[in-house]
């Protein structure tokens, strides 16, 4: 018996159904920022089903409804944390480093330790694209569009000294300093993005450094800027946009050159996606680079910078002897001993030297 009623106190007046704890929690979630409205409607129905099902099970196990609702909601956590967790997982491209990464690091490291890899830093550095693979092993899809971007402007020296200035004005100032018309690539930035304030103090510094400073200040706002010249106009856009525009599709036919013929091509593609700019890959939630295996061919669609690093990873799995003896034999003019005689020779491009391994160069952009 309710002690309050036993003492004669009036029962509290109740209007309508008992407050619904689950409904209140879902309403609270609706108020949180970050989950797009179009996704929330579906998520709400799904979470309500989850919570009601959980409550039903707890009640079958003997709990009262109110108690079961409280437990079910406590398991989901508070609405703000849930919204953060959802937004971070679904709308962030940040790569999730994994145990897989650690495992593959070990495999690669162990391979180096036992002398399985015999490459030199010099060798890695001097290899151009065409030097890494035979034509039969690496082929590039012909370009499908014209009017490529030119990043040489990033070396342009500019001076800028502003305490607090809107990004829109800063970009205009930079374009004027470079003597170019501006195309702010409006699709890439929202009006709000362009109102962020930045402070800069550079004298005769390359544009690359100025953009890096801007990016550092706007990191928390999620705005990143790079610049290129196209058709004589300066284009400002996020690095990702340029990466997408500059992608090339390359096919690698490497199955017959694998040092360990039992290794799965998928293990190699996983290593590439774990080590080479993991955020970029579509399989990792990124939006720039793709990798897939069809039959025995590995296709990689990525910007040249990423292709070069992916090739380095692939190369770690290839047979050393085959690399050293079958590719990159070139005509070479050789001066004979008898004074001036010139004859044609074929010489290997480079010789494997067992020493440390390094990953080839990084970004050309302002990051």
Task: Give the residues lining the site for another protein (CB under 8 A).
Answer: 39, 42-43, 45-50, 52-54, 75-77, 81-82, 85-86, 88-90, 96-107, 109-110, 112-113, 264, 266-267, 269-270, 274, 282-283, 285
* Closest CB to another protein among residues 107, 118: 107
* Closest CB to another protein among residues 185, 312: 312
* Closest CB to another protein among residues 39, 130: 39
- Cα distance between residue 140 and residue 50, in whole Å: 49
β-strands 290-294, 297-302: how paired? antiparallel
Q: How far is the CB of 17 from another protein (least distance, A)?
A: 16
Per DSSP, the residues of 197-254 read EEEEEEEEEEHHHHHHHHHHHTTTTT---EEEEETTEEEEE-HHHHHHHT-EEEEEE-
Distances (CA, A) of 162 to 167, 173, 222, 288, 366: 11, 10, 22, 34, 20
Q: How far is the CB of 267 from another protein (least distance, A)?
A: 6
Q: How many CB atoms lie within 10 A of CB 27?
A: 12
* Closest CB to another protein among residues 263, 329: 263
Q: How far is the CB of 305 from another protein (least distance, A)?
A: 22
* Closest CB to another protein among residues 103, 361: 103
β-strands 329-335, 290-294: how paired? unpaired
- Cα distance between residue 224 and residue 193, in whole Å: 10
- Cα distance between residue 26 and residue 22, in whole Å: 6
Q: How far is the CB of 239 from another protein (least distance, A)?
A: 21
* Closest CB to another protein among residues 102, 359: 102
Q: What b-and-e string marks burial along 103-127, b requiring 16 or more CB atoms within 10 Å of the CB?
A: ebeeebeebbeeeebbbbeebbeeb
Q: How far is the CB of 242 from another protein (least distance, A)?
A: 23
- Cα distance between residue 214 and residue 173, in whole Å: 13
- Cα distance between residue 258 and residue 314, in whole Å: 9
Q: Is 76 helix (H, G, I), strand (E, B) or coil?
A: helix
Closest CA to 133 of 323, 332, 358, 351: 323
Q: How far is the CB of 39 from another protein (least distance, A)?
A: 7
* Closest CB to another protein among residues 96, 330: 96
Q: How far is the CB of 106 from another protein (least distance, A)?
A: 4
* Closest CB to another protein among residues 130, 266: 266
Q: How far is the CB of 111 from another protein (least distance, A)?
A: 9
- Cα distance between residue 208 and residue 213, in whole Å: 9
* Closest CB to another protein among residues 262, 337: 262
Helices (H), 35-78: 37-60, 65-76
Q: How far is the CB of 41 from another protein (least distance, A)?
A: 11
């Amino acid at each position: 018996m309710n002690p309050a009623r036993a003492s004669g106190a009036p029962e509290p007046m109740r209007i309508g159904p008992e407050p619904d704890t689950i409904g209140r929690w879902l309403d609270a979630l609706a108020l949180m920022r970050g989950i797009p409205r179009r996704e929330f409607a579906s998520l709400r129905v799904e979470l309500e089903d989850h919570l009601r099902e959980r409550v039903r099970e707890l009640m079958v196990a003997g709990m009262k409804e109110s108690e079961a609702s409280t437990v079910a909601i406590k398991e989901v956590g508070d609405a703000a944390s849930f919204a953060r967790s959802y937004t971070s997982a679904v709308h962030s491209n940040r790569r999730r480093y994994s145990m897989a990464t650690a495992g593959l690091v070990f495999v690669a490291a162990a391979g180096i330790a036992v002398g399985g890899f015999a490459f030199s830093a010099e060798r890695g550095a001097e290899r151009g694209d065409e030097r890494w693979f035979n034509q039969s092993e690496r082929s590039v899809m012909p370009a499908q569009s014209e009017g490529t971007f030119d990043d040489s402007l990033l070396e342009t020296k500019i001076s800028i000294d502003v305490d607090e200035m809107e990004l829109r004005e800063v970009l205009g100032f930079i374009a004027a300093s470079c003597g170019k018309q501006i195309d702010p690539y409006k699709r890439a930035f929202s009006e709000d993005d362009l109102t962020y304030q930045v402070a800069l103090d550079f004298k005769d510094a390359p544009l690359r450094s100025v953009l890096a400073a801007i990016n550092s200040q706007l990191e928390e706002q999620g705005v990143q800027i790079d610049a290129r010249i196209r058709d004589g106009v300066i284009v400002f856009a996020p690095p990702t946009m340029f990466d997408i525009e500059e992608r090339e599709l390359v096919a690698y036919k490497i199955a017959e050159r694998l040092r360990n013929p039992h290794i799965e091509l998928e293990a190699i593609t996983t290593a590439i996606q774990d080590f080479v700019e993991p955020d970029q890959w579509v399989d990792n939630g990124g939006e720039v680079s793709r990798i897939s295996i069809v039959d025995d061919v590995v296709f990689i669609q990525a910007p040249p910078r990423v292709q070069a690093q992916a090739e380095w990873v692939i190369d770690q799995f290839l047979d050393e002897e085959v690399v050293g003896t079958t590719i990159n034999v070139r005509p070479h003019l050789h001066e004979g001993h008898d004074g001036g005689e010139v004859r044609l020779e074929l010489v290997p491009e480079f010789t494997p030297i067992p020493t440390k391994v390094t990953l080839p160069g990084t970004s050309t952009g302002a990051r």
